[in-house]
């Protein structure tokens, strides 16, 4: 995947993940960063269980990235001390 694809996937996954975790979002830049990190984490998690990780800019990769971004956002909130509902 190219850098533009990672940014697009990161924006979408970070936005959806932040809405799932805390309903307000973290801001555009933080959503992108956490979404890209979430895509990587999601790919690692899925690969560890024998499933396909992020394969490109498609629905499966978006699902993997959103799950990864939820994990990353949850960990971020636990470390930063912010409460989630």
Of 3-7, 19-23, 67-71, 80-84, least confident by mean pLDDT is: 80-84
Angle (deg, nearest 10), helices 3-21 and 28-48: 90
Task: Determine the 3-state secondary structure of 43 from DSSP.
Answer: helix
Report the C-alpha gap between 56 and 53 in whole angstroms: 9
Q: What is the pLDDT of residue 6?
A: 74
pLDDT cut 70: percent of the chain above it:
86
User: Torsion-angle region of residue 43: left (phi > 0), alpha (psi -120 to 50) or beta?
Assistant: alpha
Report the C-alpha gap between 43 and 64 in whole angstroms: 6
* pLDDT, tens digit (0-9, with 9 covering 90-100), for 61-70: 888 888 888 8
What is the C-alpha R_g of the chain? Answer: 12
* pLDDT, tens digit (0-9, with 9 covering 90-100), for 21-61: 876 666 677 777 777 788 788 888 888 888 877 777 788 88
């Amino acid at each position: 995947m190219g850098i533009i694809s990672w940014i697009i996937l990161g924006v979408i996954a970070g936005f959806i993940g932040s809405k799932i975790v805390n309903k307000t979002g973290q801001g555009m830049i933080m959503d992108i960063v956490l979404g890209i990190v979430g895509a990587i984490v999601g790919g690692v998690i899925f690969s560890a269980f024998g499933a396909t990780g992020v394969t490109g800019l498609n629905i499966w990769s978006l699902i993997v990235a959103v799950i990864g971004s939820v994990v990353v956002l949850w960990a971020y909130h636990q470390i930063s001390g912010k409460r989630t509902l």
